[in-house]
Structures are given as C-alpha cells and as structure tokens.
Structure 1
Amino acid sequence: MNAFEYARAADIAEAVRLKAADPAAKFIAGGTNLIDLMKYHVEHPARLIDITRLPLRSVEPSHSGGVMIGALVPNSDLAYHPLIESRYPLLSSAILAG
C-alpha cells in the first residue's frame, strides 16, 4: 500500500476546498472499499479526505420534483426510506437486489 496523506473535513466547505486543492484526492467514508483497492494497488491516491462526520445522511424531496440523496446515506436506509419506496420503487428494489 502506498503512503498517503489523511485529512478529516470539519464541514462541507472544507471538504470542497481540500478536493479543489488536490483533484486526485479521494473521499473516504464508512462502507467504502477504497482501502481494499489501495491494498491491491488498484487505487493510488496521495490524499484521503474523510467525510464521515459531515451532515450528508438525509433523503429529501428536491424543489424540481426529484430527490436529494446524501452521500453518506447507507444503501439499506435508502432502500427502505418511505420516499424512495413510494416514488422510486425500482431504485429500492435494485438496491435490495444488490
């Protein structure tokens, strides 16, 4: 595994700034297989940006009639979310089938 820098973003703005400063950086959060890919030399990021503590766990209707899904919403939570089950049943089924 290659050496890498680690940064924990305190807020969304900081995560965006860190990524803008290093476009090759990768975001890391719970449930990711990025570390495994790094161990097998598939991915080689020089910097990881930890976003696990950011407020990105919501599922909300958007103003345009769609849905906004936070980057940290677990698949199981998304599949069983009432909004997804009622308005996007195919998405719910696809997640559960995976």
Structure 2
Amino acid sequence: MSLHRRLTIATGAALLSLAVAGCSGLGRSAVGTISYETGREVGVRVTSPSVNGCHRLAPAGATKIENSTLVDLVLYRTRDCKGKDSTYVASNTGDEIAPDTLPWRSYTVVH
C-alpha cells in the first residue's frame, strides 16, 4: 500500500471520528425528571427533556421546581430563555420563587 493511500485513509478516519464526536450530543436528554408547580398550583412533570434549546414551562409559569435530573438548569422569567433575571438550579436540588415575583416561564439545560 502506498504512503499516499495510507495517509488518505488515516485522514478520512480522523475526519469521520471528528464528525461523529461533533454530532454525538444531538439526541441527548437530561436523564431524570423535572417537576414543577404552576402559578395555578398545578403539578407538572417533564421526563428526560432534551439538553438542546430553550424549553417553555406551562403558560401560568412555575413557582416551585425540583430538578431530579443529572444536569443543572437555568430558569428564566421570560418565554424565550433570555434576560438577566435568571436562576441556576443544580442537579438534584430545587427552588421556589420569592413572594411577589414573577414566575419562571422557560429553562435551558446546562451540559
């Protein structure tokens, strides 16, 4: 086998490895359950949400949350996961809004 052909095969294998590694997180989920209570005192459970993107909470928003997943969350008071008024909730912990504050309306997964 010629040196040129071996280099081509080695380069192809390296590029394939990088491509697979780059796509490995596309279908991943946060293993576990996120439970929250809405502003109308309705309980909601989300099982293994995707680690990608912004996730909206119920229209009434969330006033309490329990993060029983293997990853951390960032909660937002807006529907689009933007704004400075965010709250970090570590894996296997929870949080509750302070009295007279807006509920959380969306979250992202820290991965």
Indicate whether the TM-score tops 0.5: no
- Radius of gyration: which is bigger? 2
Give the structure with the larger helix fraction: 1
TM-score by length of 2: 0.24
